[in-house]
Amino acid sequence: MPMLAKVRWPLAFAGLLSPLALARYINVINPASPYTKDIAPLLWVALVMSVVVFCGVAGTLFYVVHRFRARADTTGEPPQFRDNPKLETTLIIVPIILVGVLTFMTAATLAKVSAIPKGSLRVRVTAHQFFWDYRYLSSNVRNSNELVVPVNRPVEIELTSADVIHAFWVPSLGQQREAIPGSINKFTITAPKVGSYYGECNILCGAGHANMRFRVLAVPQSEYQTFIKEAKAYAAPQPKTAAEKRGYKLFMATCSACHRIQGTSANGRIGPDLSYFGSRTTMGAGVWPNKLKYLEPWIHDSPAVKPGSHMPPFTQLSAQQVRDLALYLESLKLPGLNFRSLPQI
């Protein structure tokens, strides 16, 4: 018993933290990210200034309230002084110097983070209500909602929108830009370690705004090359089981006008590209894990599970037909790749 008492607190503490350890830890000043390293000096200077200014002003305020409050024995009137030019001038000049330093550092830092390094991987990102479309400009490989990038290599995002204004934001990687129809916004992100990074649309874009998420999957360079090679050469595998065959037929009859599956006659451009849907880790624009139990209700009635979804409900399909479609989609995999074990960041 005495031994248990000794470890009780550390145990309780660990117990409290364990669910947190499993949680996705998104952090806009993720210290591992190269972006944060670039802006760290600016942030430190600003933080020190903020603390000094806050303590100085708040401290003075509390001193004044404590020292000068009228008490029961306060009589007469306080000194009626009106100004103190020296002090006032100082209180104007010092802040001007502070913001001058910050402005200078901002300009320098901005120049640093805005430069687009040579050898960046270029990806065209097109935002839609309510999903993301990616095209790798060097290989013309397409994918939706999950952007596969090599770790530690700058990725130049060329951002645009097909409809309203959206914003591309991967908090842990820094940067953020608006996706504007009719123009292209360029910036770079670099993923510092292997993992699945959480991304979000960050300009109100309609009813589905909160469900317009995505992932950046950072993989080792070799795995990335495999991905590009396989994706370029990809032709959807032939349906094998009876269910997959029924699903394939149904897909070509019902879904192909809006969705594309590389290597089949389905070539729609209205909805997300589903070529290697089975290799995705998430579905519904990064909202649910890619599992049958989420996929089936989605196919059955997409607007019911994601308000505002432009995919029409297919309530006329039987449960069996929905299952067939889902099984077919899950069979569409890139050989030799599995992103599901990537750590969540």
Q: Nearer Cβ to other proteins, position 263 or 297?
A: 297
306-345 binders of other proteins (CB under 8 A)? 307-308
77-136 binders of other proteins (CB under 8 A)? 77-84, 87-88, 91-92, 95-96, 99, 102-103, 105-107, 109-111, 113-114
Q: Nearer Cβ to other proteins, position 8 or 112?
A: 112
Candidate residues 34, 38, 120, 314; the one interacting with other proteins per rule CB under 8 A? 38
Distance CA 203, CA 179 (A): 9
Q: Does 156 bind other proteins (CB under 8 A)?
A: no
Q: Does 258 bind other proteins (CB under 8 A)?
A: no
**Residues 33 and 190: beta-carbon distance below 8 Å:** yes
Query: By rule CB under 8 A, what string of x and - marks binding of each residue 173-212 to other proteins?
Result: -xxxxx-xxxx-xxx----------x-xxxxxxxxxxxx-
Candidate residues 154, 171, 192, 284; the one interacting with other proteins per rule CB under 8 A? 171
Please tell me whether residue 30 adopts helix, strand or coil conformation. Answer: coil
Q: Which residues contact 116 (CB under 8 A, 6 or more apart)?
A: 154, 156, 186, 187, 188
Instruction: Please state, as a whole number, how many other Cβ atoms lie within 10 Å of the Cβ of residue 168.
Output: 26
Instruction: Quickly list DSSP for 261-300.
Output: -TTSS-B--SS-B-TTGGG-SEETTTTEES-HHHHHHHHH
Residues in the interface with other proteins (CB under 8 A) total 88
| Minimum distance, C-beta of residue 107 to other proteins, in the bound complex (Å) | 5
Q: Specify the DSSP element, H or E, that contains 198.
A: strand 195-201
**Residues 277 and 330: beta-carbon distance below 8 Å:** yes
Q: Nearer Cβ to other proteins, position 198 or 339?
A: 198
Max Cα-Cα span within the chain? 98
| Minimum distance, C-beta of residue 323 to other proteins, in the bound complex (Å) | 25
Q: Nearer Cβ to other proteins, position 8 or 37?
A: 37
Dihedral, 144, 146, 147, 151 alpha carbons, nearest 10: -160
Candidate residues 13, 25, 238, 270; the one interacting with other proteins per rule CB under 8 A? 25
Instruction: Please state, as a whole number, how many other Cβ atoms lie within 10 Å of the Cβ of residue 322.
Output: 22
Distance CA 255, CA 248 (A): 10
| Minimum distance, C-beta of residue 162 to other proteins, in the bound complex (Å) | 11
Q: Does 304 bind other proteins (CB under 8 A)?
A: no
Q: Nearer Cβ to other proteins, position 11 or 47?
A: 47
215-234 binders of other proteins (CB under 8 A)? none
| 44: amino acid identity, one letter | W
266-295 binders of other proteins (CB under 8 A)? 287
Estimate the crossing angle of helix 34-68 against helix 85-114, to 10 degrees: 160
Candidate residues 68, 235, 312, 313; the one interacting with other proteins per rule CB under 8 A? 68
| Minimum distance, C-beta of residue 69 to other proteins, in the bound complex (Å) | 4
Q: Does 48 bind other proteins (CB under 8 A)?
A: no
